[in-house]
């Protein structure tokens, strides 16, 4: 029984020391996560904007090509 209690005390002390060692890192990790999520969000937003611009240019170019080909067909 004595060995079990000592093992439990050692485990509790190791857990406490690990927890106390991690606590100062928590704000840094939170800030790092916020920065990472912001970076990913901005990357996705810029990707969507590029997609939107390319799609709009493609649609206008396609409509223009349809009008030009229709005009050439009417002239022939």
Provide the whole-model pTM: 0.53
Lookup: tokens for 21: 């060692």
Q: Which domain holds residue 67?
A: 2-75
Q: How many domains does the chain have?
A: 1
Which H/E stretch holds residue 15? helix 2-22
pLDDT tens-digit readout, 24-40: 777 887 888 888 999 99
Distance CA 48, CA 54 (A): 10
Comparing 65 with 48, the larger pLDDT belongs to 48
């Amino acid at each position: 029984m004595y060995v079990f209690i000592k093992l439990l005390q050692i485990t509790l002390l190791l857990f406490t020391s690990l927890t106390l060692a991690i606590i100062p890192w928590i704000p840094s990790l939170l800030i790092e996560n916020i920065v990472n999520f912001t970076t990913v969000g901005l990357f996705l937003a810029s990707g969507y904007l590029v997609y939107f611009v390319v799609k709009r240019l493609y649609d206008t170019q396609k409509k223009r090509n349809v009008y030009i080909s229709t005009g050439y067909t009417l002239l022939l």
